Structure 1
Amino acid sequence: MTFRLPPSDFTRNTSLSGIVSTMTMTIAEPSQHTNSITVVGTQFCALHPVDLIILRNVKSQEGGNLVVTDVNGNIVFKVKGTLLSLRDRHLLLDTNGDPLLSLQHKILSPHRRWQVFRGDSSDSKDLLFSVKKSSWIQSKSELDVFLAANTKEEVCDFKIKGSWVERSCIIYIGDSYNIIAQIHKEHSVQRKDFGKGSFTVTIYPNVDNAFIAALIFILNEINYDSNSND
Structure 2
Amino acid sequence: MAFLYLVRHGQAGERILTGDGRSDSFGVERSYDVLSDRGHRQAAATGRSLARRKAPGASVPVLSGPLSRQQDTAAHVAEELGSEPPVVDEAWREFDTDSVVGPWLAANPDVAERMQRLVDAPSDENRRALSRLTGSMLEDAMAWWVDQPDFPEFRAQVLGGLDAAADIARAEGTAVTVTSAGVIALCVVESSGVPVQRWPTVAGRLFTASVSLFRVRDRSGRQDGHHGVELLSFNEHAHLDEPDADGRRPLRRFS
Structures share fold, TM-score greater than 0.5: no
Q: Whose strand proportion is higher, 1 or 2?
A: 1
Structure whose alpha-carbon radius of gyration is higher: 2
Query: Which is bigger in relative contact order (C-alpha 8 A, separation at least 6)?
Result: 2
Q: Which structure is higher in helix share? A: 2
TM-score by length of 2: 0.27
